[in-house]
Amino acid sequence: MKIGIIGSAGRMGQALVDAIAVDGHTHAGGVDKDGDLGALIAASDVLVDFSSPHGLEASLDACVAAGKPIVIGTTGLEERHHFLIDDAARDIPILQTGNTSLGVNMLAALVEQAARQLGADWDIEILEMHHRHKVDAPSGTALLLGEAAAKGRAVNLKDHSERGRDGITGARKAGDIGFASLRGGSVAGDHSVILASDNERIELVHRAENRSIFARGAVKAAVWLTRQTPGRYDMQEVLGL
């Protein structure tokens, strides 16, 4: 399989090159800002995008024009980006996820189950920590976990999300899913989902020790995606969760 990388100069870029080689596939090349995206897409069977939200529309348009599937691991996406993805997914297979690791997606499945079974009287808080260079918060993984909790409760995360507390905020609003973000050092990614009720607490934790786990998952997703029909997919479908 010939796999092209959009955002090849970033931290994930080299990890992806290594993972592609380990799995016996071909690195078709990579582009960054002002690179020849069209040439890369023409040389690739599937694209993996770990760049930035700013170039996503151009990447989607080019992939649709060429009929090539794309895995989107870029974080910091806004609502309009998801509309663009939904539109492009009518024509090509697209997998978009906040995290490509097996462990995180298993964690999301556990969070959804716990939120469904325990009910809204358990408070849910999501804590994440990443390296000092990360530019978006909460992390894409934290939002993925928040969506899993909201799905378990059958609510819209947008309407039940608490993103920041400072000063005299008043008591915690029942049913909210809280987020807290820490930044420092070279942390690849730590995530904790805390479910707290009176007199007891459950903590579900995932710690990423290096970026290779995300790269291996992205390559697995890319290969899987080449066998799919046009549509929008996620990692839980790749892993059969």
Known catalytic residues?
130, 134
**CA neighbours within 13 Å on the CB side: how many for 112?**
14
* Structural Rg of the chain based on CA atoms: 18
**Which residues lie closer than 8 Å to 133 by C-beta, 6 or more apart?**
none
Nearest to 2 by CA among 32, 39, 34: 39
Longest dimension (CA), the chain: 59
The sign one gets for the Cα dihedral 218, 50, 63, 2 is: negative
